[in-house]
């Protein structure tokens, strides 16, 4: 009987993407950003959280590579980085075969 080897360890980038998207609020934010770029104020109003709470979630999403920031006068708008979806898909495909 042949023993299977150890499972490969997921890359740090893949783990960041998975962990950051694993929160229900952050997943809801990603759904909103899939439609169009939005400010923290707009996201806060749509989700029902404070702008400070949304900013914390946005920092995690930005650090993981899910979103990019763009300043428009006073506001910072966030947009979904579609390439993150491709990276997630490829990373899972490599990991799971």
| Run means of pLDDT, 10 residues per run, the chain, 97 residues | 60 91 97 98 98 98 97 95 92 87
The answer to whether position 82 is within a domain reads yes
The answer to whether position 4 is within a domain reads no
Number of domains in the chain: 1
pLDDT at 96: 87
For the record, the structure tokens of 67 come out as 């979103």
The answer to whether position 3 is within a domain reads no
Instruction: Give every CB contact of residue 26 below 8 A, 6+ residues apart in sequence.
Output: 20, 57, 60, 61
The answer to whether position 85 is within a domain reads yes
The answer to whether position 47 is within a domain reads yes
pLDDT at 8: 66
Structural domain including 48 reads 12-96
The answer to whether position 1 is within a domain reads no
d(CA 26, CA 52): 14
Nearest to 29 by CA among 64, 57, 53: 57
Assign residue 28 the CATH number of its domain.
Answer: 1.10.10.10
């Amino acid at each position: 009987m042949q023993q299977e080897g150890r499972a490969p360890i997921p890359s740090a980038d893949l783990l960041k993407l998975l962990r950051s998207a694993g929160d229900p609020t952050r997943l809801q934010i990603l759904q909103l950003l899939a439609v169009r770029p939005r400010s923290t104020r707009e996201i806060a109003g749509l989700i029902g959280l404070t702008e400070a709470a949304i900013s914390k979630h946005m920092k995690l999403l930005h650090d993981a590579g899910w979103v990019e920031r763009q300043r428009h006068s006073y506001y910072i708008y966030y947009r979904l980085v579609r390439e993150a979806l491709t990276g997630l898909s490829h990373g899972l495909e490599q990991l799971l075969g």
